[in-house]
Amino acid sequence: MKPGRTIDRLIDIMAALRTPKTGCQWDLEQTFSTIAPYTLEEAYEVVEAVARNDMYELRDELGDLLLQVVFHARIAQEQNAFAFADVVEGITAKLIRRHPHIFGDAKDLSPDEVKKVWNKIKAEEKAQRRAERDAAGYPPDAPEGVLSGVPYAMPALTRAIKLQDKASTVGFDWNDARQVIAKIREETDEIEEALNAGAPQEDVAGEIGDLLFAVGNLARHLKADPEQALRTTNEKFERRFAHIEDALAKQGRTAKDATLEEMDALWDEAKRLERE
């Protein structure tokens, strides 16, 4: 089988890999659950390629992510649930339906009006989805609440922001970022109190979770993406620690050979060089 430039070729290759007796044993053993972690991993790798502005890698990573979609659709087709074409039809229908100002009669809408129409259409879609699930005999969705619809598998910090955003729509939110800063101080005090009291590890971990949640909330109030902010800080940490290692290597030493005071001094040197 030769490679190709159409989605049909990719679908055919996946079908061959999943064909009993002649297919790939590893691919045949996979289920929705076993490949779900790979799906998440590939999505992260796409984001990483975007962050690096690496178009060569982005092309490859998008292919890997597309493969995951085809893989899931193939398993579903084998179970007579749906096929890849149904996935395409569903998303194209949704895009057309949610953009009546482009594909329909709702022309010349302001951004606020577009948002209102979008929310109205999404509410209608949810009602239709419930009706279709009932008619097909699927188990009912979980009860709808203000915080519904935030995927559990999201990175915890991103999910925290999504939950906070949803809660804010009904007024459950701080009015000022300074109030969030006060909450952060409160959470750090509670961690210290737990440590002083010799609290169990799980209790301390719970207090740390509260602190991270509050820090995420501060980022949200200040319109900062906490994931991107932390990625930037991670890169800064890597860059400065690399300076420590490079400086020590010139002395014929490694970080294991240096004292904390020596490494702190080199860290400060790295910070100073960044400012120059």
pLDDT of residue 102 exceeding 80, the answer is yes
3-class DSSP state of 137: coil
Residue type, 265: A
- pLDDT one-digit tens code per residue, 193-243: 999 999 999 999 999 999 999 999 999 999 999 988 998 999 999 999 999
Q: Which residue has the higher pLDDT, 144 or 70?
A: 70
Give me the pLDDT at residue 122, please. 83
pLDDT at site 246: 97
CATH code of domain 156-224: 1.10.287.1080
Rounded-to-integer distance, Cα 161 and Cα 225, Å: 9
- Write the CB contacts of 228 (distance below 8 Å, at least 6 apart in sequence): none
Cα 85–Cα 86–Cα 91 angle in degrees, nearest 5: 100
- Residue 106: what pLDDT? 79
Residue 245 has pLDDT above 80, yes or no: yes
The Cα–Cα gap between 79 and 69 comes to 16
| pLDDT on residue 141 | 66
CB neighbour burial string for 212-247, b if at least 16 within 10 angstroms, e if fewer: bbbbbbbbbbeeeebeeeeeeeeeeeeebeebbeeb
- CATH number of the 7-136 domain: 1.10.287.1080
Give 257's DSSP letter: G
Can you tell me the distance from the alpha carbon of 263 to that of 248, in angstroms, rounded to the nearest whole number? 9
Q: Please give the share of the chain, as a percent, with pLDDT higher than 90.
A: 73
Candidates 154, 147, 149, 161; CA nearest to 229 is 161
pLDDT band, residue 66 (cuts 50/70/90): very high
The DSSP symbol for 255 reads G
Q: Which amino acid is at 101?
A: H
pLDDT tens digits, 47-63: 889 988 999 999 999 99
pLDDT of residue 148: 85
Contact predicate 43/65, CB 8 Å: yes
Could you give the 3-state DSSP secondary structure of residue 154?
A: coil
What is the mean pLDDT of the segment spanning 247-253? 97
pTM over 0.85, yes/no: no
Q: Give Cα separations from 98 to 29, 104, 109, 112 (angstroms).
A: 38, 10, 13, 14
Q: What is the model's pLDDT at position 73?
A: 98
Please enumerate in sequence order all residues whose Cβ is within 8 A of that of 267, keeping only pairs 6 or more positions apart, or say none.
240, 241, 243, 244
Type of residue numbered 119:
N
Q: Distance of alpha carbon 255 from its chain centroid, rounded?
A: 34
Contact in structure between 243 and 213 (CB atoms under 8 Å): no
The domain locations on the chain are 7-136, 156-224, 228-275
Asked if 7-136 and 156-224 have one fold, the answer is yes
In this predicted structure, the answer to whether residue 263 has a pLDDT above a threshold of 90 is yes
